[in-house]
Chain A
Amino acid sequence: MRILLYMVIILIGAWLGAGGKLSESFTGKLSKLQFGSLLLLLFIMGVNIGVNEDVINGFYKLGFQAVVLAVFSIAFSIMFVKLVSGFVQRGGKDSE
């Protein structure tokens, strides 16, 4: 249900953005609005972390887990792209 809500909100935004129905003054402020709401959300997320003693006490453990997860996801994504890179690049040459 939540996924559907997120998709609908993005699609409404994309539809409004593509249609050019938004005023210049609003679209001019878009990146500032986006960054402002992002900073507010990150602040709230920080509060959510700060009020949780388990997270604060286990911060080093969480950091180690994060490095392992990041390295594995990078390594596997490179391997998976390697599987199709020949096929994709051949397509690019065909269309030239």
Chain B
Amino acid sequence: MNIGIIAAVASGIVVGLFLFPQQFVQHIGIIIDIGLCALLFFVGIDIGRNKDIINQIKACGFRILLVPVMIALGSIVGSIAGGSVLGLPFNESGAIGAGFGWYSLSAIILSDYSAEIGAVAFITNVCRELFALMAIPFIAKYIGKLESIAPAGATAMDTSLPIVSRATDSNTAVISFITGVVLSLLVPVLVPLMIAL
């Protein structure tokens, strides 16, 4: 996890606490919207430049798409279950779970709705990535190779990929990458969809 990311959030909190003029608070939502559109545009270019994805899916068979689908379902159902234990509304906990470990994007989308949900989404998805990095080798060894991709969520294509690759084999690493791409595409769709329910 990049120190710059934590530093950006922490310095923003300090500025918000002590320095940010109150009359500009109402404009934060518009700034987030514009920045988010720019970020998603860059993410789209990145995905478009990776031409191997379709070929890899064809080579492995389309049933491997069940892996990201089940991770998406499990993450949302699990966070709704966790949210019901905590007494959270199902749409809020479901939207946080639909972040799939992509803490920056999910938290930014949700902070447009409420600063509190944005903060919980950020910490939840940071925790998910940290837990994933620690748990993947154990899950690969004691539960199964495909199951070891599950905790990684959207990070299965980048930060968690080296851990999955090391703990499993090259076939699982390819499935991990495709899973990360599919889940990353689903985050900007499912997070707003869940919170709107």
Contacts and interface: CB of A to CB of B under 8 A. Distances in A.
Interface of A: 2-3, 5-7, 9-19, 22, 27, 30, 33-35, 37-52, 54-56, 58-59, 62-63, 65-85, 87-89, 91-92, 94-95
Contact of A74 (B118, B122, B135, B192): B135
B115 A76 contact: no
Interface string B6-32: 001111111111101010010010011
- The majority secondary structure among interface residues of chain B is helix
Given A47-B20, A58-B116, A77-B153, A39 B47 contact: no
Interface string B36-66: 1111111111111101000000011101101
B127 to A, nearest CB: 4
Contact-residue bracket for chain B: 35 or more
Interface of B: 4-5, 8-18, 20, 22, 25, 28, 31-32, 35-49, 51, 59-61, 63-64, 66-67, 70-71, 73-79, 81-83, 85-86, 88, 93, 96-97, 104, 107-108, 111, 115-116, 118-120, 122-128, 131-132, 135, 139, 143-144, 146-147, 149-151, 153, 171, 175, 185, 188-189, 192-193
A55 B153 contact: no
